[in-house]
Amino acid sequence: MPNIKSAKKRVKVIKTKTERNKAYKSELRTLIKNAMAEGSEEAAVKAAIKKIDQSVSKGILHKNTAARKKAAVVRKSKA
């Protein structure tokens, strides 16, 4: 454990951010899974793509990872 006050604060802040990112990624995975399911609606695909784009802007996903996920969602929905 850190001894310096600022280092202790960083540990707390990082823990909070990690929990927030974990919840966000979980929701993202659920949306992607629903969009890729058989007989999924157009709205589910749009919601998944929107959430992927938002995660890039928040720095949760890298832009190339997001592009790959969006391509997979669209490919699966058209099949």
How much is the pLDDT for 29? 95
Q: Which of 61, 1, 4 is nearest to 27 (CA)?
A: 61
pLDDT tens digits, one per residue of 19-46: 999 999 999 999 999 999 887 889 999 9
Residue 11 DSSP SS3? helix
Confidence of residue 79 (pLDDT cuts 50, 70, 90): confident
Domains within the chain, CATH numbers bracketed: 5-78 (1.20.58.110)
Q: What is the pTM of this model?
A: 0.82
pLDDT tens digits, one per residue of 52-68: 999 999 999 999 999 99
Task: Please list, in sequence order, all residues whose beta carbon lies within 8 angstroms of the beta carbon of residue 70, skipping any fewer than 6 positions away.
Answer: 49, 52, 53
Rounded to whole angstroms, the Cα distance separating 66 from 60 reads 10
Rounded to whole angstroms, the Cα distance separating 19 from 40 reads 29
The CA R_g of the chain, rounded to the nearest whole Å, is: 17
